[in-house]
Structure 1
Amino acid sequence: MVDLYKNGVYLVSGVEIVEDEKQLKQQLGKEISKEEAKKNTIAYGILESHNTSDNMEALEIKFDKLTSHDITFVGIIQTARASGLEKFPIPYVLTNCHNSLCAVGGTINEDDHMFGLSCAKKYGGVYVPPHQAVIHQYAREMLAGGGKMILGSDSHTRYGALGTMAMGEGGPELVKQLLDKTYDIKRPQVVAIYLDGKVAKGVGPQDVALAIIGATFKNGYVNNKVMEFVGPGVKHLSADFRIGVDVMTTETTCLSSIWETDQEIKKFYEIHHRPEDYQELKPGDVAYYDGLVYVNLSEIKPMIAMPFHPSNVYTIEEVNNNLEDVLHQVEEQAKVSLDGAVDYTLMDKIKNGRLYVEQGIIAGCAGGGFENICEATDLIRGKYTGADEFTLNVYPASTPIYMELVKNGVVADLMEAGAIVKTAFCGPCFGAGDTPANNAFSIRHTTRNFPNREGSKLQSGQISSVALMDARSIAATAANQGYLTPATDYADIEYKGQKYHFDEKIYANRVFDSHGQADSTVEIKMGPNIKDWPAMSALPDNLILKVVSEIHDPVTTTDELIPSGETSSYRSNPLGLAEFTLSRKDPAYVGRAKAVQVAQKAIESGSCPVDAFPELDSVLTTIRTKFAEVGEGNLGVGSTIFAVKPGDGSAREQAASCQKVLGGWANIANEYATKRYRSNLINWGMLPFITKENHEQLSFGLDDYLFVPDIKKAIAEKRGEIKAYVVGDELKEITLSVGDLTDAEREIILKGCLINYYRG
């Protein structure tokens, strides 16, 4: 089904895989170097055309367009304003698909929307009102273009199927683009995703995506690399199908994605009245890839990602045939994911020997596409969801899609079958809508199924589960009134293949587009709870860190670092949002961090940190046995957390900024799950420390103090290893590192955060 090549490969004429260089030379009748062949990937060409430096190994990228949603754009614009923003230098689209419910509490969501509209007018942007489109569908319909690059402040910024290299990053990276700066990275490796064969009837894009995620996530095969989709199987997939696979590449932890394009993608642009944005893309005659994932589409079966990660994949057939074993295994995994915080069971989902689920959802950038919903409807048409616990909710990804589904009768068919059809909204993807009952089980064609992604709250004793599935198998389950069923069980279904017509007037009549014209006379509308960032200090000469949280899970998600759904109303209020930091994983964290922070505040006000935080007295006494000069004027005090592999999941910068707001100076990890989380730490002036110590045998732990002497000098001098000490009755030396840092990243850390860096 999915095989990973151990080494790099050459792809000849876009179809033939050659592993051996000697064989390649004989076949071509000439020699081609690996470095030269690397330049023949699609990804290399796009990166080269957007690189502003003269060095293709150290890229300085300028993107064509930017996009954000209403959980992220307020903080981004506030940061950019504080750094000197006068006008959006490139098209910047502000969508409103996360805080669309306008729930009461924190910053009222509509205040954020009005902030966004006024900023689009003042700085020359585009504003998409709530319920018009989810961020990524709008980008597909209106922004993507062949050979272009888009940066978005959402991790699922993926438009590779349309020939656009897109990346999801934390807000500070968008701030850099808004200030006419660059996105600086080492040239990423490129891995071929070689598609072969044809999918079986009833198999959808989520099935293909989950199979790839299951094969690549845990071993890090494509981590921080570009996935390039090639091979003879591509031509057998519709544009919507490719888009559905592509958006899920984020869950492999890759950096970006790109696909070869053809007449099918050309037709997509023509349907959306943008034929000029199509560009044929394909690898050169001989292209070298740093790895290859072989996907036999013919062997893909309906898949399910069981709780609590998209990589926890099985075929639905496996689950149904080994039900008790699989459910027991998930329960055991949950003990780690949930830390035993709640009673969790799945065995009670077995009814009459089958798995019963209480909810089905087809939604968002992954599930809400036209083709997904049409084919799900073909399957359930004339059948009924029943009048018991099971419910089915469908969210078309944009109003143009919704309108076409109304016109072709799909909405009527869904409603007759018992489904509820709702407006474009990302809530089911991050826990802000359709939260199931306690201990309920939800199957969703969305992007993630982390703990609490369905909206439950561990801290309130509530938990429910999400499994990811394709829309077709969700519809098959709905047709069976809640009993888990693969779509392939309905072999007699006729999929109509409805034609899509895009109505551009829907956006033309409702979306504000400045066409790049800024109006400096516009007053920004600031709701009472939209707050500026608090002042942040520069990196001190020496640093005392208290370990205030210690996480030994194999991977820590950004959802666990800062929750998603229940914090949405506070995303524009740094201090209010910070109160939720690690609330799902370590509820005591905020109190511990604040207790340490008083020492740094005392230093900043010119007071004695020991007077404010007496337990520092003995710590400083021990430190001065070896470093007598440490004290007034050359010392900072803050907190740090240890996590084995933090940062999987969302691009949200608040996973880092909330720690900084609470006095955090560093993270310590064995490795970072994603580049974007590490970048967020750096952009908020936090040290991304790495330790080689085994997490089960650390020389430090919760409530321990670490002393890092000459840290400012170490960063400035680009030291690879940094000497630090565990402070007990005596000093115990340890070694930390910060990995590779660009000169700009070092300067940002030295200044204390990106805002300080641009203020000068």
Structure 2
Amino acid sequence: MMYDLEMMKQFYVSYNGKVQDTRKKLGRALTLAEKILYSHLYDANSIKCFERGVDYVNFRPDRVAMQDATAQMALLQFMNAGKSVSAVPATVHCDHLIQAYKGASIDLPVAQTTNKEVYDFLKSVASKYGIGFWKPGAGIIHQVVLENYAFPGGMMVGTDSHTPNAGGLGMIAIGVGGADAVDVMTGMEWELKMPRIIGVHLKGKLNGWAAPKDVILKLAGILTVKGGTNAIIEYFGEGTSSISATGKATICNMGAEVGATTSVFPFDYEIVEYLKGTGREEVADMALKVADDLKADNEVLSSPEKYYDKVIEIDLSALEPYLNGPFTPDAACPLSEFKDKVIANGYPQRMEVGLIGSCTNSSYQDLGRAASLVRQLKDKGLKMASPLLVNPGSELVYCTSKRDGMIADFEEAGAVIMTNACGPCIGQWKRETDNPTRPNSIVTSFNRNFAKRADGNPNTHAFVASPEIATAFAIAGDLCFNPMTDTLINDKGEQVKLDAPTGDKLPVKGFTVDDNGYVAPSADGCNIEVIIDPKSERL
């Protein structure tokens, strides 16, 4: 068992009591964020009404997650702390150092050779100090954490800015620097300024082309890249329960783009189903026993303006797809207005590459909805007008998607399947182009689109959208195409229209994987030698 069941048992046994103590001492109802924060105070006896945005508070997170680029320094520091084992469950994920070039079958072996000394070091340190290790190709840190470690009501720090992805399962998960992670792993208190809390009331239900990604794309336009600074975004309302767990994670993931400390969703049936679907029935059962305190108190929900520092309302039923950009993720534009924006600003109209995946949108549901579009090409007599690159989020997602025919659907349409890693999203894209400085346009399902972010070209106009919209634009090859209203000319000269995307939230046959890429730590770290080449220029 990869996740620490005993730690979670202890957590859930005491959680209700801690929330009740907090409610009593503060003398008022509590938001979900407050329940989780106060139940993780480093000193349980220090409960008082901390002033949001002012007071610095010490916390005791439940676990730590590290990606390979930032884990190197963090683990070197931890080795010098004099500890024999991490004080909390921790994992290392090799996802950042893999270049996206020709496809997984070529790129992964190259990365394993190029980064061998880093991987050997991380694996040996992890084994010695009781830390779980996820091999290169196992998946993107945040997707793997969601599938294996995130749990409702918990608190985690991770050495990557998109750690808040775990908020999709009702967890307070915060991106930190390596030194902060070391503090937590050594058992020290972890300090954070008590965040403000922004409440986002979701009403209605998504339909048609609208996707969970569009919720955060719209919100980014409202808050801007700084509007969430020193704040937790807490979602509430009947609309939350209509969004899948992975869809919730997508929304929380990109909260980093508005500067939020983290984001969180309340516990619901979708989270229960995801926990069970990923083999964590016991976690789901424990969470169900404290379900009332894994959401905001009823008084908060009936009078949100009294408890949140700011309240924003979004009607999911009226939400249309968004494309944000270029050069900043808060330049939000609804699909119906995007053509006019492209023409008015003189953006390169030809859409040259579509890229889907990343930690933000690489779940089974994401790939399924995109695959439902490429599957239409054969039936409607169409072909991809632009290249499509696909980065599955994990080996679990890849193997399940392959079994269910989705990988074959992508490949038949001409898409290239990249390694289960970050790839182009973080600039690890070795793009083949006729001119590395030429103005051009791409559409991605990533989270960031600042100049040079994806391919190093300052003139690449990158627009952030859902996987469905990125795929539709790759099919059309035209930024002025609106898949909701426009038609395409097929091989018979006929005008045809794409059907709205569909996709299962979870695989009907369950998840499957041959080797998920996890390596458990040694039972006796004393016998493990940390591998560092004395001539190393990297370590």
The structure that is strand-richer by fraction is: 1
1:410 aligns with 2:429: no
- CA distance, structure 2, for counterparts of residue 169 and residue 430 of structure 1: 17
User: 1:243 deviation in Å?
Assistant: 1.7
User: Residue 120 of structure 1 aligns to which amino acid in structure 2?
Assistant: A
Deviation at 1:257, TM superposition (A): 1.5
Among 146, 156, 177, the residue aligned to 2:184: 177
* Structure 1 Cα separation of the partners of residues 222 and 528 of structure 2: 51
Moved more, 96-105 or 307-316: 96-105
Aligned to 1:199: 206
CA distance in 2 between counterparts of 1:34 and 1:201 reads 46
Matched, 1:50 2:40: yes
Alignment of 1:325-404 (within 5 A): 325-327=344-346, 346=347, 349=348, 355-383=349-377, 386=383, 390-404=386-400
* Contact 1:103–1:109, Cα closer than 8 Å, also in 2: no
* Superposed counterparts of 1:111-190, under 5 Å: 111-158=117-164, 159-190=166-197
After TM superposition, give the deviation of residue 362 of structure 1 in Å: 0.3
Cα distance in 1 for partners of 2:262, 2:318 equals 26
Distance 2:506 2:138 in 1: 21
Shift of 1:483: 4.5
The residue identity in structure 2 corresponding to 1:404 is: T
In 2, the alpha carbon distance for the partners of 1:523 and 1:322 equals 58
1:274 aligns with 2:275: no
1:493 Cα deviation from its structure 2 partner: 3.7
Does 2:75 align with 1:77? yes
Aligned to 2:490: none
CA positional deviation for 1:386: 4.6
Question: Which of these residues, 292, 295, 308, is aligned with residue 327 of structure 2?
Answer: 308
**Residue 231 (structure 1) shift:** 0.5
CA gap 1:185/1:498 in 2 versus in 1, 3 angstroms: closer
Match of 1:447 in 2: 447
Structure 2 counterpart of 1:236: 242
Distance 1:493-1:308 versus aligned 2 partners, 3 A rule: closer
Shift of 1:256: 1.3
Matched residues in 2 for 1:65 and 1:250: separation? Answer: 20
After superposition, give the CA deviation of every residue in 1:378-414 in whole Å (9 maximum; x if it has no partner): 12213178576x2101111011111111111111111
Distance 1:468 1:66 in 2: 29
Alignment of 1:663-674 (within 5 A): none
Cα distance change, pair 397–494 in 1 and its aligned pair in 2 (3 A): closer
Q: What's the counterpart of residue 96 of structure 2?
A: 98
Specify the code of the residue in structure 2 equivalent to 1:86.
Answer: S
- Matching residue of 1:522: 528
Q: How many residues align?
A: 466
Separation (CA, whole Å) in 1 of partners of 2:126 and 2:528 = 10
Unaligned runs of at least 5 residues, structure 1: 1-31, 328-345, 350-354, 532-571, 574-760
How far apart in 1 are the matches of 2:337 and 2:368? 27
Cα distance change, pair 33–79 in 1 and its aligned pair in 2 (3 A): closer
| 1:323 counterpart = 2:342 | yes
Residues 1:129 and 1:239: Cα distance change in structure 2 (over 3 Å)? same
- Cα 1:184–1:493 change in 2 (3 A) is closer
The equivalent residue for 1:431 is 427
Q: CA deviation at 1:514?
A: 2.2
TM-score under structure 1 normalisation?
Answer: 0.58
**How far 1:360 sits from its partner (Å)?**
0.4
Q: Which consecutive unaligned segments of at least 5 residues does structure 2 have?
A: 1-22, 51-55, 100-107, 301-306, 486-496
Distance in 2, Cα, partners of 1:304 & 1:74: 36
Query: Does residue 503 of the first structure (1) align with residue 501 of the second (2)?
Result: no
> How well do the aligned residues superpose, as a CA RMSD in angstroms?
2.5
Q: How does 1:278-293 map to 2 (within 5 A)?
A: 278=284, 279=287, 280=291, 281-287=294-300, 288-293=307-312
> SS of the residue aligned with 1:140?
helix
User: Secondary structure in 1 aligned to 2:484?
Assistant: helix
Q: Could you tell me how far 1:34 is from its partner in structure 2?
A: 13
Query: What SS does the aligned partner of 2:58 have?
Result: strand
Classify 1:150/1:498 alpha carbon distance in 2 versus 1 (closer, same or farther; 3 Å): closer
Is the contact made by 1:442 and 1:465 (CA closer than 8 Å) also made in structure 2? Answer: yes
Which protein, 1 or 2, shows the higher relative CO under an 8 Å CA cutoff with sep ≥ 6?
Answer: 2
Q: Please say if residues 369 and 501 of structure 2, whose CA atoms lie closer than 8 Å, have aligned partners that are also in contact.
A: no
Q: Provide the C-alpha distance between the structure 1 equivalents of 2:269 and 2:283, rounded to a whole number of angstroms.
A: 13
- 1:492-571 alignment, distance < 5 Å: 492-493=499-500, 495-497=502-504, 499-500=506-507, 501-503=510-512, 506-507=515-516, 510-514=517-521, 517-527=523-533, 530=536
C-alpha distance 205-494 of structure 1, shift in aligned 2 (>3 A): closer
Per-residue CA distance 1:321-370 (angstroms, 9 max, x = gap): 2433234xxxxxxxxxxxxxxxxxx3xx2xxxxx2111000011112111
> Is 1:466 aligned to residue 456 of structure 2?
no
CA contact 2:218–2:332 (8 Å) conserved in 1: yes
Q: Give CA-to-partner distance per residue, 1:245-270, whole Å, 9 cap, x none.
A: 12111111111121111111101000
Supply the distance in 2 between the matched residues of 1:215 and 1:33 (Cα, whole angstroms).
35
Name the counterpart of 2:304.
none
Q: 1:307 to 1:34 in 2, by over 3 A?
A: farther
2:265 pairs, out of 230, 251, 259, with: 259
Change (3 A) 1:401 1:529: farther
Aligned residues of 1:399 and 1:423 also touching (Cα < 8 A): no
- Rounded Cα–Cα distance in structure 2 between residues aligned with 1:33 and 1:122: 43
Q: CA deviation at 1:482?
A: 4.4
> Deviations along 1:44-85, whole A, 9 cap, x unmatched?
111111101314424211111111111011110112223434
